[in-house]
Amino acid sequence: MTQVNMLEAKTNLSRLVAMLENGEENVIYVARNGKPVVQMTLSGGEVPVRRLGVAKGVFTCPKEFDAWDDEISDMFEGI
Protein backbone atom coordinates (compact mmCIF):
# COMPACT_ATOMS: atom_id res chain seq x y z
CA MET A 1 0.00 0.00 0.00
CA THR A 2 1.29 3.43 -1.00
CA GLN A 3 -0.18 6.78 -0.02
CA VAL A 4 0.61 9.97 -1.93
CA ASN A 5 -0.68 13.50 -1.67
CA MET A 6 -2.67 15.21 -4.44
CA LEU A 7 0.27 17.16 -5.88
CA GLU A 8 2.48 14.08 -6.00
CA ALA A 9 -0.32 12.06 -7.65
CA LYS A 10 -0.83 14.79 -10.22
CA THR A 11 2.88 15.06 -10.95
CA ASN A 12 3.60 11.32 -11.03
CA LEU A 13 0.37 9.80 -12.31
CA SER A 14 2.06 7.78 -15.05
CA ARG A 15 4.60 6.37 -12.60
CA LEU A 16 1.85 5.45 -10.12
CA VAL A 17 -0.17 3.67 -12.82
CA ALA A 18 2.96 1.81 -13.92
CA MET A 19 3.51 0.66 -10.33
CA LEU A 20 0.01 -0.86 -10.35
CA GLU A 21 0.49 -2.46 -13.77
CA ASN A 22 3.86 -3.96 -12.80
CA GLY A 23 2.49 -5.40 -9.58
CA GLU A 24 4.76 -3.28 -7.38
CA GLU A 25 1.62 -2.08 -5.60
CA ASN A 26 -1.92 -3.44 -5.56
CA VAL A 27 -3.51 -0.26 -4.21
CA ILE A 28 -2.45 3.39 -4.07
CA TYR A 29 -4.25 5.91 -1.90
CA VAL A 30 -4.37 9.58 -2.83
CA ALA A 31 -4.65 11.79 0.24
CA ARG A 32 -5.78 15.32 0.93
CA ASN A 33 -4.37 16.86 4.09
CA GLY A 34 -3.03 13.44 5.11
CA LYS A 35 -6.42 11.70 4.86
CA PRO A 36 -6.97 9.14 2.05
CA VAL A 37 -9.80 10.22 -0.26
CA VAL A 38 -9.17 8.17 -3.44
CA GLN A 39 -8.17 4.56 -3.93
CA MET A 40 -6.38 3.63 -7.16
CA THR A 41 -6.42 0.00 -8.29
CA LEU A 42 -6.30 -1.83 -11.60
CA SER A 43 -9.69 -1.94 -13.28
CA GLY A 44 -9.62 -5.69 -13.84
CA GLY A 45 -10.87 -5.51 -17.39
CA GLU A 46 -12.04 -3.37 -20.22
CA VAL A 47 -14.75 -0.78 -19.78
CA PRO A 48 -17.98 -1.96 -21.43
CA VAL A 49 -18.82 -0.03 -24.56
CA ARG A 50 -22.35 1.20 -25.14
CA ARG A 51 -23.61 -0.04 -28.47
CA LEU A 52 -25.91 1.93 -30.69
CA GLY A 53 -28.80 0.04 -32.18
CA VAL A 54 -29.32 -2.33 -29.27
CA ALA A 55 -33.11 -2.02 -29.64
CA LYS A 56 -33.08 -2.40 -33.42
CA GLY A 57 -36.26 -4.13 -34.48
CA VAL A 58 -37.91 -3.69 -31.08
CA PHE A 59 -39.31 -0.24 -31.86
CA THR A 60 -40.68 1.03 -35.13
CA CYS A 61 -41.13 4.68 -35.89
CA PRO A 62 -44.70 5.60 -36.87
CA LYS A 63 -45.15 6.68 -40.50
CA GLU A 64 -46.79 9.95 -39.42
CA PHE A 65 -43.81 10.85 -37.19
CA ASP A 66 -42.87 13.90 -39.29
CA ALA A 67 -46.48 14.98 -39.89
CA TRP A 68 -46.46 17.45 -36.99
CA ASP A 69 -43.31 19.28 -38.13
CA ASP A 70 -45.21 21.98 -40.01
CA GLU A 71 -47.75 22.45 -37.23
CA ILE A 72 -45.02 22.80 -34.59
CA SER A 73 -42.99 25.15 -36.78
CA ASP A 74 -46.05 27.39 -37.21
CA MET A 75 -46.47 27.57 -33.41
CA PHE A 76 -42.95 28.91 -32.92
CA GLU A 77 -42.66 31.26 -35.90
CA GLY A 78 -44.04 34.28 -34.06
CA ILE A 79 -41.56 33.93 -31.19
- So what's the pLDDT on residue 79? 66
Specify if 24 maps to a domain: yes
Classify residue 19: in a domain, yes or no: yes
Specify burial of residue 54 (Cβ count, 10 A radius: 0-12, 13-18, 19+).
exposed
Q: What is the reported pLDDT for 55? A: 74
Residue 75 counted as domain residue: no
Cα distances (Å, whole numbers) of residue 37 to 6, 34, 46: 10, 9, 24
Judge whether 10 lies within some domain.
yes
Distance CA 54, CA 59 (A): 11
Show the domain range for 12. Answer: 2-40
What local confidence, expressed as pLDDT, does residue 35 receive? 95
Residues in the chain, total: 79
* Count of domains observed in the chain: 1
Residues of the chain with pLDDT under 70: 47, 79
